[in-house]
Amino acid sequence: MGLWNGYFIAKLSLFYTDVIDFSIWLNLALAALVLVPLVKTRWRVLRLFVSIPAAIALLYADTRLPPFSRLLAQQQNVEQFSLSYVVELTSRFINPSTVLLIVGLFLLAYILARKLRLTTFVVLAIWPAIPLFQAWQHSLMQQQAPTQLATTPNASPASIAPPGASGAINDVAIDQALAAFYSTQGQRQVSFLRPDKTPVFDVLIVQICSLAWDDLLMTDNDRSPLLDHTDILLKRFNTATSYSGPAAIRLLRSTCGQTSHDALYEPTTANCYLFNQFEQAGFSKHLLLNHDGVYGDMLGEIQQFGGLNISPDANSPAKTQWLGFDGSAIKNDFDVLNGWLQRHPHNADAPQALYYNTTSLHDGNHPPGTASAHGSANQYGERVQRLMSDLDQLISTLETQQRPTLLVMIPEHGAGARGDRMQIPFMRENPSPAITLAPVALRFVGLEKTPRPITIDQPTSYIDLAGLLADVIAQDPYRNPSVTAATLAASMTSTPYVSSNEAVTVVRYSDAYYLRYQGGAWANYRYQ
C-alpha cells in the first residue's frame, strides 16, 4: 500500500490511544481499494481522485466530532466571530503532539516499508486485532462499572428508565422511554397564586452563560466563598441544553414541564411563562443584560419565546469589563446590577422581579485594550473568579441596604472547559452532563443566613426550581419565621436527566448516558 500504510498506522495509533474511533469495515474497504493492482496510469490517477477524499471523509467520520452537517448549520453564527476568535478556535482543533505523532509514524512507515511488508501487519492490526481489543475493553468496563458509578460525581442523576431496568437496551426502548418522559412533563405545571398579602421581597434571577460544576472543578473554583454564602444549593440541576437561547427560554418557561428543543420555538400558554406568573403574584417585571443581546438574537428570543416582551433596562452607565468574541462590549456585572438597584429602590408595597442575563464567561471574551481573543480559554478561570466575586459583592450590598431579596443564580449551561472524548474544550454541540449539570444557588437576603447551604442532591431542572419559587411566594419566609430554607428545600420535586439541542439529544437511560444525532441511532456516550 506504500504511503497508505502510514495513513492506516497513524489512524490505528490514534484508535489504540483512545483519540478516535475506527470503523473496521469501511477502513478495510478503503484498504482494499488502494491494494487492488492497476496497470494503466489513468486508472491509478482515478483511484487517487476517489481514495484521497474518501480517506479524509473516513478520518473525520472516525473522529468523535459532530456530523459535518452540524458544523455547516453554525455558519451564520460563525460569520459574527472576529478573525482572532476564528483563529483561536481553529488552533484548538490542532493538537501539536498529535500532529508530530502522525508525521513521525508516516516517516517510520516509509523507513520500515523498505524492509518489511507493512501491509500484512496493518491488515492484521485492523482485523482481527480491533474486535479482540474492543471485547477486552468491554470486559474491563463491565468489571469497573460498579466502582465508576459509585465514585463519579456526575453519575447519580435519575434516568428515564430505572437502574437495572429489564429488557434489551436498544433504540426502540430508549425512544419509548423518552416519549413517556415528554408525556409526563407535558402534564406538569406550577402556578404562582397571588398571596393574601403582597410579597415584601424582591426577586433577582441571575442567569449565567457558561458555568457548570465541571468548569468549577476544572478551574479550582468549586469552593468559592460565593457558594458558602448561599442558603440553598442545587447539586444536580440539569440545564437541559448547552446553548444560551434555548436555556433562557427554558428558564422563562419553567412553570411548565420540560419540552423538546423544537417545542421551545412554538407558541405556548400564558401560564407557562415564569414572569407572567410573577406578575400574577404581584411583582412588576424587569429585564436587564450586561451585553447588547445581538448575537444569536438573544434579546429577541428572550422577548418573543421567553414571554418577557419588555424593553431591557439600560446598562450603559456600567464600565466595560470584557470585549466579546464579536468585539461587543460586556459590562461589569456588579456595576450593572448595582446600577439597577439604585434606579429601582425597594418598595415593600410594590415588589419587583428582575431577569438578568450575563455573558461575562462566554468563550472568546478578552479584556478591553487587547486586540485579540487569542488566549481567552486560558483566561476563563480568571473570569469565573471575577464573576463570582461580583455576585458576592452584590449579596453584601443587598445586606448593607437591608433590602429583602430572593437572589437566584442559575447558569444557562457550562463552558465545556475540560472537553471530552467527543468534543474539544469549550465546544458545546453535545449537551453532556459535564456541560448541563450546573450549580444553582438561592440566597434569602434579609433573613438569617443558614450556617451552611442546604444542598439538594436529587436530580432537578427548571420546573422543580419554579415549584420552589412558588412555595417561597405562597409561604413567604419574610412574613413567616417558621418557613426556612430547610423546610422549603424539603418539598423540592425531581426531574430525570434529558438534555437536547437542535439536532442532538442526550439521555440517562438505566445506568448510562446515550446520545443521538438527528436521524441517527442511539449510542452510548462515554463523555469522561
Residue whose cell numbers read 466575586: 389
Alpha-carbon distance 117 to 122, whole Å? 9
CA-closest candidate to residue 283, choices 398, 397, 391, 204: 204
**Residue 116 confidence (pLDDT):** 79
pLDDT tier at 153, thresholds 50, 70, 90: very low
Q: Could you tell me what percent of the chain has a pLDDT over 90?
A: 68
Residue whose cell numbers read 436521524: 519
Question: What does the DSSP 8-state code read for residue 45?
Answer: H
Helix 96-112 and helix 4-16, axial crossing angle in degrees, nearest 10: 130
Distance set, CA 214 to CA 147, 183, 247, 425 (Å): 20, 30, 18, 12
CA-closest candidate to residue 370, choices 78, 79, 88: 88
Q: What does the domain layout of the chain look like in residue ranges? A: 4-151, 184-190+201-524
Mean pLDDT of 422-449: 95
pLDDT tier at 136, thresholds 50, 70, 90: confident
Alpha-carbon distance 96 to 98, whole Å? 5
Greatest distance between any 2 Cα atoms in the chain: 92
pLDDT in tens, 443-480: 999 999 999 999 999 999 999 999 999 999 999 999 99
Q: Which run of H or E residues covers position 142? A: helix 129-151
| DSSP code per residue over 378-414 | TTHHHHHHHHHHHHHHHHHHHHHTT--EEEEEEESS-
103, pLDDT greater than 50: yes
Mean pLDDT of 498-507: 96
Alpha-carbon distance 200 to 455, whole Å? 26
Q: What is the SS3 assignment for 328-356?
A: CEEECHHHHHHHHHHHCCCCCCCCEEEEE
| DSSP code per residue over 432-465 | -HHHHEEEEEEEEETSPPPSSPEEE-S-B-HHHH
3-state secondary structure of 312: coil
Name the pTM for this structure.
0.85
142, pLDDT greater than 60: no
For the domain spanning 184-190+201-524, the CATH number is 3.40.720.10
Question: What does the DSSP 8-state code read for residue 204?
Answer: E
Listed in sequence order, the residues at least 6 apart from 141 whose beta carbon sits closer than 8 Å to its beta carbon are none
Listed in sequence order, the residues at least 6 apart from 159 whose beta carbon sits closer than 8 Å to its beta carbon are 496, 497, 507, 508, 509, 510, 511
pLDDT in tens, 169-197: 899 999 999 999 999 999 999 999 888 89
504, pLDDT greater than 60: yes
Q: Which run of H or E residues covers position 201? A: none
Between 7 and 106, the more confident residue is: 7
Residue whose cell numbers read 416519549: 179
268, pLDDT greater than 60: yes
Listed in sequence order, the residues at least 6 apart from 219 whose beta carbon sits closer than 8 Å to its beta carbon are 380, 381, 384, 385, 417
Question: What does the DSSP 8-state code read for residue 423?
Answer: B
Question: What does the DSSP 8-state code read for residue 67?
Answer: P
Contact 87, 374 (CB under 8 A): yes
Listed in sequence order, the residues at least 6 apart from 14 whose beta carbon sits closer than 8 Å to its beta carbon are 20, 98, 101, 102
